[in-house]
Structure 1
Amino acid sequence: MTDSSLSQSEPAPRPGHVGSGGSARPANMALTAETESRLYRSLRVASGAAAHLVALGFPAAVAVLARPGSSLFSWHPLLMALAFSFLMTEALLIFSPETSLLRSFSRKVRVRVHWALQLLALLCALLGLAIITYNKHLNGKGHFVTWHGLTGLLAVLYAGGQCAGGVLLLYPKLMKNWTLAKLKLYHATSGLVGYLLGCASLMLGMCSLWFTTTVTGVSWYLAMLCPLVTSLVIMNQVSNAYLYRKRSQH
């Protein structure tokens, strides 16, 4: 049998079949990786948009329930919701590569806005803490005797320390033995801990007598989901930006 007859009898390669060169498999793997990357990015965009809506919607709902101005206590839940649900969440979402409202601005501008929002969050939290402390004093009730009260106090104190520690990022030369990359890593991870403390305080507050008598049934479960959703989004953002990247460098 001649060489020409052999070449004519060989079947043509099927589409997608891996030949001796093995070029189809890497192409398919690359296509799959690209599809997964697009899907993952779409999920992050959707979850980030949900976090923006929850960050604003939760304090708005609390304002309707508390009716600020109706009593001294009514300001406490609103101020705490503004601090830990709206201001602090937006301060962190500013650095989201997918859903930041200031994506078109420089990092320097985003850092300044982050600082402003964090300081406003701390101010609201301090006012909320002062109001509930004074209200309990007027009513002769004990201070910080519940898990909600203790967690809230810890969250406010932690937020104050976090803001003070953030000064080191503005003046990194003050820490000569620390690189700027390490300072950013520690600030981000410690900030995540503080944010989770704030969200935990909100969730414990929704177990209080005031909230459970006002909000019941499915509405209560939906309210509990709000800080949980924002916590998961922020955790994913910080992990992707710092923790996973740091692990991949080793």
Structure 2
Amino acid sequence: MLKEEKLPAEARFYRCTRTAVAAFTHVLCIAFTVFLVFLSRPGSSLFSWHPFLMTLAVSHPPILPHGSPVRKFAHKTKGRIHWVLQCMCVTCAIAGLVVIVHNKNVNDKPHLTSWHGLLGLITVCVIGLQSVAALPLIYHPLAKGWSLAKLKRYHAASGLVTYLLGCATLLLGLCSAWFTAAVSDYTWYLSALCPALSALVIMDQVSRTYTAKKRLQS
């Protein structure tokens, strides 16, 4: 057997840096979710369930090629974990939407009066469509005439768009009167770092991973 070619020092440093940034992103998202739990105190009011559920729905990053805690697991195991997280995401997103709609009805407030509300509704719809569109990856006969490799590329691209929509909605939510009144300026900037950094890391890893695969296949 041929020995694996050793990567240059610059390439190893770059790979280690990407892994460290991705790992830090996971830790930051967990810390942000825990912070929102303490801030919103789910159960203290009807509205309190909305930020809690929506944070659970969109704050966790997907399984990444670099830096993910499960990256060394078997492909089938990672697929199952991904589906569990996706089901949790869809459930929390729909529940969070139902809560805020009911809360506005109870308090006789108008719906969809902010960019956060409009983009949030679009994001929830896209999350649902993304999940349904991913079914052919499990039941390949549903997509006759489509190769599994092409389905994975489209799924990754649409998943990236969906996650960016979620991050944008989360950022707009941080601009709401409820959040800005509950935190200081420094805390707000630290909180905004979570969706912003997650979006950048995932854009980088997804684009580079599938670009590299395309080069290898060409």
The normalised TM-score by structure 2 is 0.92
User: How far 1:97 sits from its partner (Å)?
Assistant: 3.3
Aligned mates of 1:76, 1:226 — CA distance in 2:
18
**Residue pair 2:26, 2:68 contacting (<8 A) in 1 also:** no
1:40 match? 14
> Are 2:23 and 2:68, in contact at CA under 8 Å, matched by a contact in 1?
no
> How many angstroms does 1:244 deviate by?
4.3
| Corresponding residue for residue 53 of structure 1 | 27
Unaligned runs of at least 5 residues, structure 2 = none
The CA RMSD measured in Å over matched residues stands at: 1.7
Greater C-alpha Rg = 1
1:117-138: CA deviations, max 9, x gaps? 1000110111111000000011
Show structure 1 runs of 4+ deviating over 3 A.
247-250
What CA deviation, in whole Å up to 9, does each residue of 1:188-216 have, x standing for no partner?
00000000000100000001111111112
**In the alignment, residue 131 of structure 1 is paired with which amino acid?**
V
| Residue of structure 2 aligned with 1:66, choices 27, 40, 59 | 40
2:213 paired with 1:245: yes
Post-superposition offset of 1:68: 1.2
1:120 is aligned to 2:88: yes
Q: 1:3 maps to what in 2? A: none
Cα distance between partner residues in 2 of 1:71 and 1:36: 53
The CA distance in 1 between the partners of 2:128 and 2:212, in whole Å, is: 27
Deviation string for 1:159-217 (max 9, x for gaps)?
11111011010122222221111100000000000000001000000011111111121
Q: Secondary structure at the match of 2:118?
A: helix
Q: How far apart in 2 are the matches of 1:47 and 1:130?
A: 35
Q: Does 1:186 align with 2:154?
A: yes
Could you say which residue in structure 2 is the equivalent of 1:18?
none
User: How many percent of aligned residue pairs carry the same amino acid?
Assistant: 49
SS in 2 for 1:142: coil
Q: Which moved more, 1:42-51 or 1:196-205?
A: 42-51
Which residue in 2 is equivalent to 1:197? 165
Amino acid at match of 2:92: C
Cross-structure match for 1:154: 122
Count of aligned residue pairs for this structure pair: 214
Q: Contact 2:42–2:52 (CA<8 Å) still a contact in 1? A: yes
Q: What is residue 217 of structure 1 aligned with on the other side?
A: 185
Alpha-carbon deviations, 1:88-134, whole Å to 9, x = none?
A: x1xx22xx333222234210111011001100011011111100000
Equivalence for 1:79: 53
Q: Distance in 1 between matches of 2:166 and 2:123?
A: 5
- What TM-score results when the alignment is normalised by the length of structure 1? 0.81
Report the Cα distance in structure 1 between the residues aligned to 2:117 and 2:211, rounded to whole angstroms.
Answer: 31
**Residue aligned with 2:59, SS:** helix
Shift of 1:41: 0.8
Quote how far apart the aligned CAs of 1:245 are.
3.1
Q: How far is the alpha carbon of 1:248 from its aligned partner?
A: 6.3
Report the Cα distance in structure 2 between the residues aligned to 1:108 and 1:144, rounded to whole angstroms.
40
In structure 2, give the amino acid aligned to 1:51: T
Question: 5+ unaligned residues in a row in structure 1: which ranges?
Answer: 1-29
Matched letter for residue 123 of structure 2 = A
